[in-house]
Every structure is written in C-alpha cells, then in structure tokens.
C-alpha cells in the first residue's frame, strides 16, 4: 500500500496496522490488561479511548502554535482530562452497565500512555485534520487489539461470545482466564505468537523487519510506555548519575597521587641509600605523569624497576614505543655504578621482563580492574582508603625483597654457623 504521507487514509492505516499501539509499540498496557475480561468491555473501552484520542489530538493540534513549549505537558493534561471527563459523564448517562463494568478505568484514560504519546509525538507537530485521523487510526488499532484479546479471554475463560454462552461450555471453562493471571498470560502468548511469526518471516527473507519489541531489549525504557513523552529522560538522568560517580572516582584517583608521593617517599627513602637520588626523582615524576595509572598496584620489587614500570605505564596509553625504551636503558645505567654486582644483574634480568610486560601490556587490564572496582565503592572515601594501601603493600614488598632477602641469607649462614658451633660444643 502506497499512501501519501499525513493523509487521513494513511493515518488510519498507520494506526490500525503499521504502528498498532498495543501489539507493535506495546503502549497503554493498563487498560489492555484490566478491561479485557469480555469482548464487549474491550469495544467499549476502545471506542471511548478513540473518542478522547481523536478530540484531544484535534485540539492539541489546533492549539499547537499557542501552547508554549515549556508548559506543554500540563496543557496536554488539562485538554485530555477535559475530554475524559466529558466521556465519563456521557457514558454514565447513556451506557450505565458498561460504565459500571469499566469502573475506574474510564477516568484513568487520562493517564493512558497512548494519548500522551500521540499528543507529544504527532499532534503537537502536525496539522489538525491529519492529527484527528491519526487519533482515530490509533484508537481503532487499540480497539481492535483489546477486542481480540477480550474475545479470546471471554471465550476460554467464561465460554461465551459477546456475552452469549455457547451450549454447556461455561461449565468447563477455566475461569483463570478472566481473572488477573489470565490477562498477563493471554497478552504474553499473543505477543509471543506475533514475535514468532515475525522471526519466521525474517529467517525466510533474510531481512530484519522494523519495530519488534525484542529489538529494544536491553534498555530500561524499552517496555515503558512513557518513553515517548519522557524521551529517555530516565536514561539521561541515570547516565548523568553514572558520570557523576565516575567523576568522583576520578577525583579520588587524582587525590591518590597526592597521597602516593607521601607514601612513596618513605618507600623510596630507604632504597635511596642504595640507589641514585635521580631514580627517586624519576619515580616521583613518573608518579605525577601517570595520574591515571597511579592507582595501580605497583608490583615493582626494586625501585629501578618501579621507575621503569611507571614509565611504561605513563607512556603505554600514548602508545609510543621508542620513548618507553629510552628510560629503561637509562635506569639500569644510573643504578649500575653504585650498586653491588648481584643487584646489577637483577635489574638487567628484570628489564626484559618489563619489556615483555610492555608488549603484553597487562597494566591496562589492571587499570580497568581498579577502575571497575572504584565506581562500585559507593563512597569516594572508601576508594581513597583503598588506594593508599597499595603503596603500603609496595613498601612491604620492597622491604621484603630488598632488605630481608640478603639478610635472610646472612641469617641462614649465621644460623648454620651457630648450629655448627652448637654441634661442636655438644660434641665437646
């Protein structure tokens, strides 16, 4: 069917078939579930919604140049509520039985998301005639869907068609279908069947059809009818909150270097006796450069390697390989003269390791882990508290690796000697 845009006929077709509010866009779930205990209820609800929808669309479209943009939502509410009140009173007067069975759901047409959605998405932007027919099309699409659903529920649940019992069928009808669980069940099955048909067609033709409810899976707003009028406000605000949290975490990370040099100083102070003071400066400079990397747990066994690691870390994000190599070559050279032979070997051995590390770049996953951990911690203070601990762990490692390692060898010798002496004494 090729129809010109925004003509009455095209609008009707669009509302009933192409963008059926209940089955395709999944809007206005509350009345769909609530009043479909019989086909007659469905027709009544659908037609009263259609009247409100068409008139509200018409008037909103007529007033679209008068209503200021900022207060359009309250204006829509007043216009819609006026028509709902009219329909409510008319039904009370002329169709009292239907009015009784629909009950509270007639005034609740005010908050029917279809009406808001069409007012916002169509009537506020288009000409009166097209808007009017858009309302009628959408309303009839809604009526059709809920009448079919009411028909199914009435037939299975109470064994009747439009209030006329079929033989002895009512005696065997499972009444759960006209009770609350049946509403969810029937709608779920209807949408499942529709999805299955669409999936089959897609598989046959090898194309994806537009607008299926499963397309939008994954967003919080996917099944919320308000998504048309709130325009993803929820997601925006949530994203803002997330960004806020991340900013806090980043602030905590930035605060960490301030704490870290302080923690790094004592760590570096002890090795300073053994290594060059420049190395310490490098450590500090690298620490300042690598603000983002500062929160990483530094696994450096010795200060030279620490300097290298941080240099790698600070420059790894930039992905400049030659620059990374330069400090590495320098670092061992500077330390070599003042250090003892065995320790000279150590950095040389570790230097290639650092290169390997660079090649594999395991720091980045670590950084991600740390980053991932920090946003989870709700308070920035906790994040701060966690970070200073890492340098402490480094200190401990440094001390354990540097000082105790040679000491332990000496101690072992001493212990051996002592044991020998003790044995000799014992022998004596």
Partner 1 sequence: MSNTTLISILIMSMLINNVVLSQFLGICPFLGVSKKVDTASGMGAAVIFVITLASIICGLIYHFILHPLGLDYLNTIVFILVIASLVQFVEMFLKKMMPSLYKALGVYLPLITTNCAVLGAVLLNVQNEYNVIQGIVNGIATSVGFAISIIILAGLREKMQYNRVPKAVQGFPFTMFTASLMAIAFCGFSGLK
Q: Which spans of this chain sit near partner 1 (rule: CB under 8 A)?
A: 26, 29-31, 33-34, 73-74, 77-78, 81-82, 84-85, 88-89, 103-104, 107-108, 110-113, 116, 176, 179-185, 187-189, 191-193, 195-196, 199, 213-214, 217, 220-227, 229-230, 233-234, 237-238, 241
- Give the shortest CB-131-to-partner 1 separation in angstroms: 20
Most distant CA pair in the chain, distance = 124
The residue among 10 and 120 lying less far from partner 1, judged by its C-beta, is 120
Whether 138 and 114 have beta carbons less than 8 Å apart is answered as yes
- Give the shortest CB-71-to-partner 1 separation in angstroms: 11
The residue among 17 and 226 lying less far from partner 1, judged by its C-beta, is 226
The residue among 75 and 314 lying less far from partner 1, judged by its C-beta, is 75
Whether 137 and 14 have beta carbons less than 8 Å apart is answered as yes
Query: CA torsion 289→293→299→303, rounded to 10°?
Result: 0
- Give the shortest CB-158-to-partner 1 separation in angstroms: 17
Q: By CB neighbour count within 10 A (0-12 exposed, 13-18 middle, 19+ buried), where does 349 fall?
A: exposed
Q: Give the number of other CB atoms < 10 A from CB of residue 165.
A: 13
**Between the CA of residue 334 and those of 299, 313, 321, 352, what are the distances in Å?**
21, 20, 21, 17
- Give the shortest CB-357-to-partner 1 separation in angstroms: 35
Whether 28 and 15 have beta carbons less than 8 Å apart is answered as no
The conformation of residue 164, written as its DSSP 8-state character, comes to E
- Give the shortest CB-99-to-partner 1 separation in angstroms: 12
The residue among 179 and 416 lying less far from partner 1, judged by its C-beta, is 179
The residue among 45 and 331 lying less far from partner 1, judged by its C-beta, is 45
Q: Which residue has the tokens 């006929």?
A: 9
The residue among 365 and 378 lying less far from partner 1, judged by its C-beta, is 378
- Give the shortest CB-410-to-partner 1 separation in angstroms: 57
The residue among 79 and 387 lying less far from partner 1, judged by its C-beta, is 79
- Give the shortest CB-85-to-partner 1 separation in angstroms: 5
Whether 272 and 295 have beta carbons less than 8 Å apart is answered as no
Distance CA 350, CA 363 (A): 16
- Give the shortest CB-416-to-partner 1 separation in angstroms: 59
Q: Which residues, other chains included, contact 183 with Cβ-Cβ below 8 Å and sequence gap of 6+?
A: 33, 34, 36, 153
Distance CA 14, CA 86 (A): 27
Q: Give the number of other CB atoms < 10 A from CB of residue 259.
A: 14
- Give the shortest CB-236-to-partner 1 separation in angstroms: 9
The residue among 31 and 137 lying less far from partner 1, judged by its C-beta, is 31
The conformation of residue 25, written as its DSSP 8-state character, comes to S
The residue among 175 and 408 lying less far from partner 1, judged by its C-beta, is 175
**Hey, CA dihedral for 327, 332, 337, 338, is it positive or negative?**
positive
The residue among 220 and 277 lying less far from partner 1, judged by its C-beta, is 220
Tally the residues of the chain: 428
- Give the shortest CB-137-to-partner 1 separation in angstroms: 22
Distance CA 303, CA 402 (A): 10
């Amino acid at each position: 069917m090729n129809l010109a845009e925004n003509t009455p006929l095209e609008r009707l077709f669009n509302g009933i078939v192409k963008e059926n509010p209940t089955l395709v866009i999944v809007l206005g779930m509350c009345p769909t579930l609530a009043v479909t205990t019989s086909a007659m209820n469905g027709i009544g609800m659908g037609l009263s919604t259609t009247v409100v929808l068409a008139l509200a669309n018409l008037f909103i479209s007529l007033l679209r140049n008068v209503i200021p943009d900022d207060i359009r939502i309250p204006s829509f509410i007043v216009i819609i509520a006026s028509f709902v009140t009219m329909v409510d009173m008319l039904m009370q007067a002329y169709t009292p039985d239907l009015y009784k069975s629909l009950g509270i759901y007639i005034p609740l047409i005010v908050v029917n998301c279809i009406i808001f959605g069409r007012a916002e998405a169509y009537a506020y932007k288009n000409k009166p005639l097209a808007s009017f027919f858009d309302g009628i099309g959408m309303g009839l699409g809604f009526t059709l869907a809920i009448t079919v659903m009411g028909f199914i529920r009435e037939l299975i649940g109470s064994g009747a068609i439009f209030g006329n019992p079929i033989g002895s069928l009512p005696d065997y009808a499972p009444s759960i279908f006209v009770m609350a669980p049946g509403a969810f069940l029937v709608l779920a099955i209807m949408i499942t069947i529709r999805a299955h048909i669409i999936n089959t067609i897609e598989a046959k033709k090898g194309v994806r059809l537009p607008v299926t409810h499963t397309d939008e899976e994954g967003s919080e707003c996917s099944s919320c009818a308000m998504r048309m009028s709130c325009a993803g406000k929820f997601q925006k605000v949530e994203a803002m909150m997330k960004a806020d949290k991340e900013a806090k975490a980043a602030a905590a990370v930035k605060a960490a270097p301030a704490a870290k040099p302080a923690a790094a100083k004592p760590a570096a102070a002890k090795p300073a006796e053994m290594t060059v003071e420049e190395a310490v400066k490098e450590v500090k400079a690298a620490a300042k450069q690598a603000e983002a990397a500062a929160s990483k747990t530094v696994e450096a066994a010795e200060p030279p390697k620490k300097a290298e690691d941080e240099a790698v870390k600070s420059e790894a994000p930039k992905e400049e390989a030659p620059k990374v190599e330069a400090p590495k070559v320098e670092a061992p050279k500077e330390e070599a003269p003042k250090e003892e032979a065995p320790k000279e070997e150590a950095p040389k051995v570790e230097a290639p390791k650092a290169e390997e590390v660079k090649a594999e770049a395991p720091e980045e996953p670590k950084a991600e882990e740390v980053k991932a951990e920090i946003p989870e911690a709700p308070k920035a203070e906790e994040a701060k508290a966690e970070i200073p601990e890492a340098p402490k762990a480094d200190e401990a490692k440094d001390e354990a690796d540097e000082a105790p390692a040679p000491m332990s060898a000496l101690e072992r010798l001493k212990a051996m000697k002592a044991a020998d002496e003790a044995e000799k004494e014992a022998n004596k």
